[in-house]
Amino acid sequence: MAEYHPPAMRKEAGYSEAEGRSGGPEDSPGSPIPHQAPHHAPRDAGGLPKECGPAPDGLPRRHYVGPRQAYAAIDLGTNNCRLLIARPSGGNFVVIDAFSRVVRLGEGLAQTGRLSDEAMDRAVEALKVCAEKLKKRNVHLARSVATEACRRASNGMAFIERVREETGIHLNVITAQEEARLAVLGCHILLESGEGPAMIFDIGGGSTELVLIESSPTVPRILDWHSVPYGVVSLSETCGPEGDGEDARIERYSAMRGLVRDAFAEFATRISPTRTSRPITELRLLGTSGTVTTLASLHLDLPQYDRRAVDGLIVPSQDMRAISEKLSTMAPEQRRELPCIGRERADLVVAGCAILETILDLWPADRLGVADRGIREGILRSLMASGGHPGHAARSVLQRVDR
């Protein structure tokens, strides 16, 4: 049986009982959803950190983002383009708009080493929608990041320039380490309380990040991290199309598990002393990705995705394994008929299951925490903690949105 955080814990994680829903693993605009933001530095009457002084860096005060102005985060991944827009609200932030579209930017990348024209066109069209929302919502400060597909593609930087010219959005291709840091910052509040190290992971479209952290009263300390170039898109394409029949599907799934296990091997050796020094019952694990939210939805037998039911859920790991194994043997047309999977995820969810099961081998926690939040929330928290001060956040990755 799945377990929920009690209402008090969910409120500490930045939620109220009256929260809205954002539509599913692929977010769509919904009712405002409050999120907890990091502790803010003391501010003056104008909403600026007091330490900023009257006109920091010689910029007029009107150039700074006040407490009622909107912040935005765009995450262009290998599979999805996602946007989150929010305003600070006390120690929290309230989401005022969201957008997500499956663009499959990394489609074919494993075979060609390049972003295809069709994939780039899809991504640019989605980013045009994002650009319009930035203006409509009066966003003054945004950070827009691109991840594994743009890191790997030989034409990745040419695509970044095209995006700037056609949409005005300045994408920053972040490192795998920065991707891992932002994911932790965005979701760590949902980690179960406890002593000792914990593992947070993010299964993306083109890569998977694993982060070993140590809890602290504020932001957790990263002890070690590892990134592998296997996400749901890249692993699916590396292993080729599904064969006919259950035996062929089982063989393909086993090959996926083997590739991921080999990619994790160095990290597994490094963290082995940490893992074996504590009882399995004390190991904590939190996942943020479409894979874990989709499987959590199936675990709850939801008729349609409900973020309120999934974000912050704690699920027995063995139940997630059982769902993964069942999906790996099903024909694609059977998976398409399952609620919360549908046509868009049916051909990718198996790769996500293979990665998840291999993570459970690596860090065999009894329970798995589920987070429907990650990089975008991490970006927003970073921006709000900086108060929009360019001296507190790297200039090269921030965009002042022109009207």
- Local confidence band at 65 (pLDDT 50, 70, 90 cut-offs): very low
* Whole-number percent of the chain with pLDDT over 90: 70
pLDDT of residue 31: 29
Q: Would 208 be classed as within a structural domain? A: yes
Query: Could you please report the per-residue DSSP string of 286-316?
Result: EEESHHHHHHHHHHHT-SS--HHHHTT-EEE
Task: Quickly tell me which residue has 């009982």 as its tokens.
Answer: 17
Q: Where are the beta strands (DSSP E) in 165-242?
A: 171-173, 197-203, 208-214, 221-228
- What pLDDT digit, counting tens, does each position of 219-269 carry? 889 999 999 999 999 999 999 999 889 999 999 999 999 999 999 999 999
Residue 251 belongs to domain with CATH number: 3.30.420.150
Global pTM value? 0.81
> Is a pLDDT exceeding 90 seen at residue 400?
no
CB of 388 within 8 A of CB of 141?
Answer: yes
CB 199 within 8 A of CB 212: yes
Q: What is the pLDDT of residue 195?
A: 85
Strands 284-288 and 221-228: unpaired
Are residues 287 and 257 both part of a single domain? Answer: yes
Which stretches of 217-274 are assigned E, i.e. beta strand?
221-228
Nearest to 76 by CA among 154, 136, 131: 131
Token pair belonging to 69: 């102005």
Specify whether the backbone of 139 is left (phi greater than 0), alpha (psi in -120 to 50) or beta: beta
Task: Look at residue 179 and tell me if it is in a domain.
Answer: no
Domain of 294?
192-372
301 assigned to some structural domain:
yes
The CA distances from residue 54 to 11, 42, 43, in Å, are 36, 14, 12
* 248 shares a domain with 155: no
Residue 108 region, left (φ>0) first, then alpha (ψ -120 to 50), else beta?
left
Q: Are residues 154 and 259 in the same domain?
A: no
Does residue 332 fall inside a structural domain?
Answer: yes
**Spatial distance between the Cα atoms of 149 and 154, rounded to a whole number of angstroms:** 10
pLDDT digits (tens, 9 = 90+) for 279-310: 888 999 999 989 999 999 999 999 999 999 99
Exposure of 221 in the CB half-sphere (CA atoms within 13 A): 6
Residues 359 and 211 in one domain: yes
pLDDT at 91: 72
Do residue 230 and residue 337 come from a single domain? Answer: yes
| Structural contact between residues 92 and 148, judged by C-beta atoms closer than 8 angstroms | no
Q: What is the pLDDT of residues 13-26, one digit of tens each?
A: 443 322 333 333 44
d(CA 248, CA 238): 16
How confident is the model at residue 160, as a pLDDT? 98
Clarify whether residues 288 and 386 are in a common domain: no
Query: Quick one: pLDDT at residue 322?
Result: 98
Confidence of residue 61 (pLDDT cuts 50, 70, 90): very low
Instruction: Tell me what the mean pLDDT of segment 105-109 comes to.
Output: 95
Which tokens in the block code for residue 128? 């045009």
Question: By the 8 A CB rule, do 62 and 48 touch?
Answer: no
| The total number of structural domains that make up the chain | 2
Residues 74 and 217 in one domain: no
186 within a domain of the structure (yes/no): no
User: Within this chain, do residues 209 and 160 fall inside the same structural domain, yes or no?
Assistant: no
For 342-351, how does the pLDDT look when each residue is reduced to its tens digit (9 = 90+)?
887 899 999 9
DSSP string of 79-139? SEEEEEEEEEETTEEEEEEEEEEE--TTTTHHHHSS--HHHHHHHHHHHHHHHHHHHHTTE
Contact 207, 176 (CB under 8 A): yes
pLDDT at 196: 87
CA angle 83, 109, 99 (to 5 degrees): 10
Does the residue 23 lie in any domain? Answer: no
Q: What is the mean pLDDT of residues 85-91?
A: 87
Q: What is the per-residue pLDDT for 390?
A: 40
Q: What tens digit of pLDDT does each residue of 26-43 get?
A: 433 332 333 333 333 333
Phi, psi of 289 (to 5 degrees): 175, 165
Instruction: Write the CB contacts of 43 (distance below 8 Å, at least 6 apart in sequence).
Output: 49, 50, 67, 387
Q: What is the domain-level CATH number for residue 395? A: 3.30.420.40
**Residues near 45 by Cβ (< 8 Å), separated by ≥ 6?**
none
Please indicate, yes or no, if residue 303 is contained in any of the structural domains: yes
CA–CA gap between residue 232 and residue 249 (Å, rounded): 16
Residues 325 and 200 in one domain: yes
What pLDDT digit, counting tens, does each position of 186-226 carry?
999 999 998 889 999 999 999 999 999 998 877 889 999 99
Q: Could you tell me if 335 and 389 lie in one domain?
A: no
Buried b vs exposed e over 381-401: b needs ≥16 C-beta within 10 Å? bbbbbbbbbbebbeeebbbeb
Angle (CA) 139 143 144, round 5°: 110
On whether both 337 and 382 belong to a single domain, the answer is no
Same domain, 162 and 88: yes
Region 268-273: mean pLDDT is 96
Q: Who's near 354: CB < 8 A, 6+ residues apart?
A: 235, 253, 256, 257, 260, 324, 328
- Residue 79's identity, in one-letter code, is N
With a CB cutoff of 8 Å and minimum separation 6, the contacts of 61 are 46, 48, 54, 55
pLDDT digits (tens, 9 = 90+) for 363-389: 999 999 999 999 999 999 999 887 654
Q: For residue 80, tell me if it sits in a domain.
A: yes
pLDDT at position 262 is 98
